[in-house]
């Protein structure tokens, strides 16, 4: 039981650390493009106001969420050992947080982005967990 809970917690924090770490790296590589976009988004969320999302960055976020979800699902499965439900539980936790993110940012991104971003969290986390069986 402790191993199961630990696997979900580690998977969740791995997802968050990877996400924010990669966003930080991308902001450092492209400060005038990616970094400025992220700062404008953050300012719009915190203070309201206009924000125009860049479609390329939104697609990058979808790709990033895909990679990070598979990775965190795999990591949680490795830690969980024989418990094959851990990536499912992690996926539902990520989905719940994803829905909260959608609520917070609904007015600042197109519907297609919200739908795709949210829809990939659960299945790709499960797929990551299934990769453990082949590793």
pLDDT in tens, 12-45: 999 999 999 999 999 999 999 999 999 999 999 9
Q: Do residues 91 and 73 touch, judged by C-beta distance below 8 A?
A: yes
Q: Do residues 103 and 48 touch, judged by C-beta distance below 8 A?
A: no
Q: Is residue 135 pLDDT above 70, yes or no?
A: no
Q: Comparing C-alpha atoms, which of 67, 80, 62, 60 is closest to residue 8? A: 80
Q: CA 118 to CA 99: how far, in whole Å? A: 7
| Size (the chain), residues | 135
Q: Where along the chain do its domains lie?
A: 2-134
Q: How many other C-beta atoms are found inside a 10 Å radius of the C-beta of residue 18? A: 17
């Amino acid at each position: 039981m402790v191993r199961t809970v630990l696997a979900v917690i580690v998977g969740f924090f791995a997802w968050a650390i990877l996400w924010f770490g990669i966003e930080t790296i991308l902001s450092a590589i492209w400060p005038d493009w990616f970094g400025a976009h992220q700062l404008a988004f953050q300012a719009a969320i915190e203070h309201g106001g206009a924000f125009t999302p860049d479609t390329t960055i939104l697609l990058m976020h979808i790709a990033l969420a895909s990679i990070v979800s598979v990775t965190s699902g795999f990591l949680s499965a490795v830690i969980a050992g024989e418990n094959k439900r851990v990536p499912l539980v992690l996926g539902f936790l990520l989905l719940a947080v994803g829905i909260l993110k959608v609520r917070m940012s609904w007015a600042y991104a197109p519907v297609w982005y919200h739908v795709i971003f949210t829809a990939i969290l659960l299945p790709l986390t499960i797929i990551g967990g299934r990769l453990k069986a082949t590793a």
